[in-house]
Amino acid sequence: MSGRFVYWMNVSLDLRIEHAPGEQGGGDWLRIGESLHREFNARARALSLMVEGRTIYETMEAFWPGARDDESLPDYLREYGEIWTSMPKVLVSRTRASADHNTRVIGGDDAIEQLAQLRAQVDGDIGVGGATLATGLLRAGLLDELLLFTHPVVLGAGRLLFDALDLPVELDLIEQASFERGVTMHRYAVRGSRH
């Protein structure tokens, strides 16, 4: 049994995940239509576990539990609210000690090692949310895949997909698809991840 860490993120063509500080996945540069969101739902439902950094978690926590039962929202948004709320999750945080919505919290200086142990106990894909967390997993050789939804915009400034890395990281393309509004999906295996 061994899980696989999959860093899943919406990005610009210049690999930025937000343009303005605090956008947190809500920037007006994102082109998320119904078919793309249904793809998000299907992929999220197939995960065994979600691991999120505090910033991403708190963004999700602020919207999706309420969206689950909000009849004014389209069915595919309510569906994602149900998926996110009920999915087992791990919040990686130095500042929070508790969380709701089927979430356990880990933190401290050994968080990456705790995640390595967790990965060995999980079978299937583990969704990773958050650049700091993903960078830490990549540096430790624990990140297995990137699942990037690329929006046709060059932002020129803002938070990058990863923090600074010391060495290039080789990837292999294993899946690609196109969606409405010019969004493309590319799934890459990270060469050399340790199991």
**pLDDT on residue 169:** 92
Phi, psi of 124 (to 5 degrees): 110, -175
**pLDDT on residue 195:** 62
In the beta sheet, which residues pair with residue 7?
A: 128, 146
**pLDDT on residue 108:** 82
Phi, psi of 9 (to 5 degrees): -155, 145
Structural contact between residues 68 and 82, judged by C-beta atoms closer than 8 angstroms: yes
Q: Looking at the domain assignment, is residue 77 inside a domain?
A: yes
DSSP conformation letters of 161-192:
SS---SS---EEEEEEEE-GGG-EEEEEEETT
Q: Looking at the domain assignment, is residue 45 inside a domain?
A: yes
Q: Looking at the domain assignment, is residue 133 inside a domain?
A: yes
In whole angstroms, what is the distance from residue 132 CA to residue 85 CA? 23
Q: Looking at the domain assignment, is residue 195 inside a domain?
A: no
Question: How many structural domains comprise the chain?
Answer: 1
Structural contact between residues 92 and 111, judged by C-beta atoms closer than 8 angstroms: yes
Q: Looking at the domain assignment, is residue 57 inside a domain?
A: yes
Q: Looking at the domain assignment, is residue 90 inside a domain?
A: yes
pLDDT tens digits for range 7-46: 999 999 999 999 887 776 678 899 999 999 999 999 999 9
**pLDDT on residue 166:** 85
What range defines the domain where residue 53 resides? 3-190
N- to C-terminal Cα separation, the chain? 10
Q: What is the pTM of this model?
A: 0.93
In whole angstroms, what is the distance from residue 148 CA to residue 143 CA? 14
Q: Looking at the domain assignment, is residue 31 inside a domain?
A: yes
In whole angstroms, what is the distance from residue 116 CA to residue 52 CA? 14
Residues in the chain predicted with pLDDT less than 50, given as ranges, are none
What CATH number is associated with residue 70? 3.40.430.10
Q: Looking at the domain assignment, is residue 170 inside a domain?
A: yes
**pLDDT on residue 181:** 94
